[in-house]
Structure formats: structure tokens, C-alpha cells
Structure 1
Amino acid sequence: MAMRKFLLLGAVALGLTLAGQAQAAEPAACKTVRLANVGWTDNFAQNGLFRTVLKGLGYKYDDKEGLALPVILESLKNKDLDIFLDNWMPSNAPNVKPYIDAKTIEMIRTNLPGAGYGPVVPDYVYDAGVKDIKDLSTHADKFDHKFYGIEPGNDGNKIVQTEIDKPENNLKGWKLVESSEQGMLVQAEKAMKNKDWIVFLGWAPHPIMGKMPLKYLSGFEADGFGDAQVQTLTRAGYSADCPNVGKLLANLEFDLPMESSIMDEIGKGKDGETAAAAWLKANPGTLDKWLAGVTTADGKDGLAAVKKSLGL
């Protein structure tokens, strides 16, 4: 009897030891997380939040900034990147679906519901009768035959160019001006200050666009513009290879006020991580949901570690 009790206690102790080892056994390759950053302000906000939590958990990160969407998708496919937090749907569906279907990229979850994306005009242009894509051609001269987009390769630009090329829209001679989020907004602010006519890509959340008197144009709904959601993408097999970070990704969800607040601070000159850390300090309850079931890189209490790193 004594021997059986000894063996039973030994087995329990061994089981607890192995469980503790398994919990702490995140592979060394997972200790540095390779993040994609397309260069949009919302992506800086998302990555800032994620990086702040990763740092508190004892992970390192490699944030690849300014990558075009096609490069990000190919890099995830080739396992040169691990995570992209800013896949806008349904506008990017034609680009990302082949990778999802081929199982070379995984969609983990929707991390931001209730977003919006599409062509916009100032309210004074809308009130003058430009409410639909088919109204653009009637006033082409006032727009100088230009539609302002963001970086080359962007899904929104592709949709706009497709519509410019359709004969039924009477947009022959129009030019899609590809720039960047910042370059496009500078042009928009300049035009609106002078009450000039302009059409460009708009989205929410965005602190600057949120303050602009803008109206979305109709006629683009079938192309993927309109109500939107943002998804988390990873390279194939990432959550299986790195289950602790995978659990964090499964928990990670943003909302419009959160992102807008952080983006506003970024617009005032703060970097994404500084703005994100300040927001998390003011809203620590968010961490309870994000870190449920998540440990530090070495298997300890994840929530306690992140709170400590933030001075909470």
C-alpha cells in the first residue's frame, strides 16, 4: 500500500512537472514575432497595442513597416512574416482568397467589426448632386478628372481603377492618383479648405477623416466597398507552431473608439506603441479578455506580467 501511494504521488508530481514544462515550451523561434505593417495609421495603432502586450509577455518583435499588400500576402505565404492584423474585408477578398483557399495563409478571426471603407466626397460636393459613381462623369472638369487613392497595389485602388475602366461609368480620361494615406489626406485637406471638388478613398476608424464632413458614394457596393471588417491573418501553421501567441491572437479584438483614440494620438506625433500603452493604462480591463489563457514567453502569469510592465 505504501509503495502504491508512493508511486501514485510520484506519477502526479511527474505529471505536474511535465505540464509545467509543456506550458513553458514555446519554441525559441516563437520568441520573436514578425509583424507586417502596411503603413496605415490604423495598422500602426493595432501593431502598437499588440507589441505593447508582446513586450510585457517577454517576446521580441520585428515590425516590418511600409510593405505593400501584395508583398505582405506573398511574405506570409513564404513564411517570411508571421502576422498581419489589418486585412480589410470584403474589399481585399479577391487578393487574399487564393491564399486562404490554398491554405498558405490562415484567417484567425475578425479583430475589428463595424468598420467602413469606400470612395468619399466632401459634403458640399454631395449636396451639389454627386451621390453615386455615375454622377462623377457629369462633373469631371470640377474634379480635374482625378480620383485620389493610396499606395500602389492597394485593394481599394484596384477597385477604383476597375470602375474607371468600365465604359458604362463614362470615366474615360480619368486618372487614379496613387500616393499614400498621408499624401492623399494632405491633398484632400487642401481641396476642402478651398472648397474645391475632390473624390478619394475614405474609411473608419480614422481620426482625421472622422472630423471631415464627408459622404460615401453609392454604386460601389458590389465591389467590396461599404460596411467592412478587419481580420487577423497569419502564415500557415503559425498558431500550431506558437500556441501561446496563437491564443493571444484568438483573443485579440479592437473596437472603433479604441483605434480612433490611438490613431488621434499618433496623428499628434506619438509613435504607435507609446499611444497604445497610454490607452491600455487608461483601459486595463481590455487586458483581462486579451490575456485569458495566455502566459508569458516562459510560461508564467501573462496578465500579471503585462500589467506590471505597464505600471498597473
Structure 2
Amino acid sequence: MSVVLAVALVAGCSTGGGAKGKSVKLAYVAWDSEIASTNVAKYVLESKLGYKVEMLQVDAGPMWAGIADGSADAMVAAWLPGTHASYLEKYKSSVEDLGANLKGTKTGLAVPAYMKIDSIEDLKKADVSASLNNQIIGIEPGAGIMMSTEKAVADYGLSGYKLVESSSAAMAQELQKAYKEQKPIVVTGWTPHWMFAKMELKYLADPKGVYGGEEEIHTLARKGLKEDQPNAYKFLDQFEWTPDDMAKVMVAIQEGKSPEDAAKEWADANADKVNAWIKGIE
């Protein structure tokens, strides 16, 4: 789905605050981590609680805006406190933060372990920048990690570098290609992500703290969801899992399973966790 079409869906085809029947709209960004978590949430809402779930793929800004204006019901994709800090500041009075659904995430610049550099400072070396064609391979413009990387380029004096805008999938493809050929590359990275399970990578040290420390992924809901859809709200409030859980779903998708099948397979194999998410729901 194109971003324009997805934004139009969020803005114009929603039930807003007056959700009808047992239906929920989940907004998400097309990052491997959020594809995994949103599909798992969708599967449980539909198979265990009888909801009809519509997934709305958008960029980070429209995702937050959709929750804030009530045109989407919830998301399980808010990276806090750092990556989405600007969106939280803008929309915090218009959304409800249900807390962390996954702890222990990290963002930064990542390189293959075979590269002989260890810090973002090393990117300033002439031989290193030349080997990288003065490029940092990024993802979608507007993503929190892209804004952090723009700051890193400024703070570390990397003015000769171009931050290449692409997508999560395109970035991973470029990384895989370079890794297979043992070529140098630097990408905007985050964990959990299947690429860390599939390749030996390392984060470049960030002595200036541009990317912050460990983060959490939070669940956010629109105002009024608790009253309109109390069962969906309770599930979303109780939804939490681990980076290892998420990695299993991401790797299954990367190896060829559809996101729907990977989510179902994981949920069916982890009934204890699913039951904890729906505990107390009649």
C-alpha cells in the first residue's frame, strides 16, 4: 500500500471515536519489528476475541497523528523515550500511553563485524568514508532513527556523508548484499531485527549519546478506546513480549512465511503468553 493511500485511509475511512461493532484499526510502520508485533496483535484480537482488525501501514508521523485524531484506534509501535520523542511531545495530550510491550530495544549505526571500525567517530577517517562512498544507508524519511542520524551527522562532523533515504526492506537488502560480498557498509540499525540474527553485526559506539540508551516499544491507544472497545483495550494493555519472541516471528517472515502465518505459528506455540494477554476478558 502506498503511503498516500494509507494516509487517506487513516484520514478519511475510519470509524473515528465511534467504532462500530467489534472492529479495531491498528496503525503501524513497515519496519520488520512492527510488522511482526502488529500481525501478532491482529491474530489474537481476531482468533481469540472475535474482532475484525484493519491494519493501516503508514510512516511514523501519520501513525502518531492517526492515533491522536482518533482515525486509528491503537498501535504497538511507539519507540520511546528517544526515537519517537518528537512525536510524543507533539501528541502526548491526545493519546493514551499503555506502557511498554517490549523492553530492551536499541538504535544506532550498525556495520558488519568484519569492518575494522568501532565508533561513529571512525567514520570521519578518509579511508573509511571513501570505502563507504560517503553514504549511510537509511530507511523511510521521517522515521525517528533518521532524525537521530541527521543529528549524528551534524554532531560528529560527518558533513561529507549522505544519509540515503530508502525503506526498512531496502536497507536490509543493501546490507545483505554487502555482507555476502564482504564489502563495507553502514546502516541505520535497531534491535530487535532479524538482520542481527542472520548476520554478525555490531553497533558503532556513540560517545556523544545521540541515539540514547536502551529503549522500549510502547502501546498507544486513542482517547476513548477503553470506553468504546473495553476488551480490545484490555488486551492491548496486557500485551507484552520479549525481543526473543519478536525475533522468532521476524526470522520466520524473512525466511519466507507470510506475516499472518508467522504470527499464527508463534501465537499457537506460545499459548501461555497469549492467555496472559487475554486474561480477565469475558
TM range (shorter): 0.7 to 0.9
Aligned residues between the structures: 261
Map 1:255-266 → 2, pairs under 5 A:
255-266=242-253
Map 1:279-298 → 2, pairs under 5 A:
279-295=266-282
Higher mean C-alpha displacement, 203-212 vs 50-59: 203-212
The CA distance in 1 between the partners of 2:157 and 2:270, in whole Å, is: 50
Identify the residue that residue 106 of structure 2 maps to in structure 1.
116
Higher mean C-alpha displacement, 284-293 vs 175-184: 284-293
The CA distance in 2 between the partners of 1:114 and 1:99, in whole Å, is: 24
The CA distance in 2 between the partners of 1:36 and 1:144, in whole Å, is: 36
Report the CA distance shift for 1:205/1:275 in structure 2 as closer, same or farther (over 3 A): same
The CA distance in 2 between the partners of 1:223 and 1:251, in whole Å, is: 32
Report which of the two structures shows the higher radius of gyration computed on alpha carbons.
1
In the TM superposition, what is the alpha-carbon distance from 1:28 to its structure 2 partner? 5.8
Identify the residue that residue 184 of structure 1 maps to in structure 2.
171
Percent of residue pairs identical: 31
Match among 217, 235, 238 for residue 222 of structure 2: 235
Identify the residue that residue 85 of structure 1 maps to in structure 2.
76
The CA distance in 1 between the partners of 2:19 and 2:87, in whole Å, is: 32
Identify the residue that residue 272 of structure 1 maps to in structure 2.
259
The CA distance in 2 between the partners of 1:221 and 1:290, in whole Å, is: 39
The CA distance in 1 between the partners of 2:267 and 2:152, in whole Å, is: 41
Report the CA distance shift for 1:184/1:251 in structure 2 as closer, same or farther (over 3 A): same
The CA distance in 2 between the partners of 1:162 and 1:206, in whole Å, is: 23
Contact kept, 8 Å, 1:204 with 1:210, in 2: the verdict is no
Map 1:12-91 → 2, pairs under 5 A:
29=20, 31-56=22-47, 57-65=49-57, 67-89=58-80, 90-91=82-83
Instruction: Kindly report the root-mean-square deviation, in angstroms, between the aligned alpha carbons of the 2 structures.
Output: 1.7
Identify the residue that residue 3 of structure 2 maps to in structure 1.
none
Q: TM-score, normalised by structure 1?
A: 0.79
Report the CA distance shift for 1:220/1:38 in structure 2 as closer, same or farther (over 3 A): farther
In the TM superposition, what is the alpha-carbon distance from 1:291 to its structure 2 partner? 1.0
Report the CA distance shift for 1:218/1:260 in structure 2 as closer, same or farther (over 3 A): same
The CA distance in 2 between the partners of 1:196 and 1:217, in whole Å, is: 17
Structure 2 unaligned regions, length at least 5 = 1-17
The CA distance in 1 between the partners of 2:172 and 2:208, in whole Å, is: 23
In the TM superposition, what is the alpha-carbon distance from 1:221 to its structure 2 partner? 6.2
In the TM superposition, what is the alpha-carbon distance from 1:222 to its structure 2 partner? 2.8
Structure 1 unaligned regions, length at least 5 = 1-26, 296-312
Identify the residue that residue 99 of structure 1 maps to in structure 2.
91
Q: TM-score, normalised by structure 2?
A: 0.87
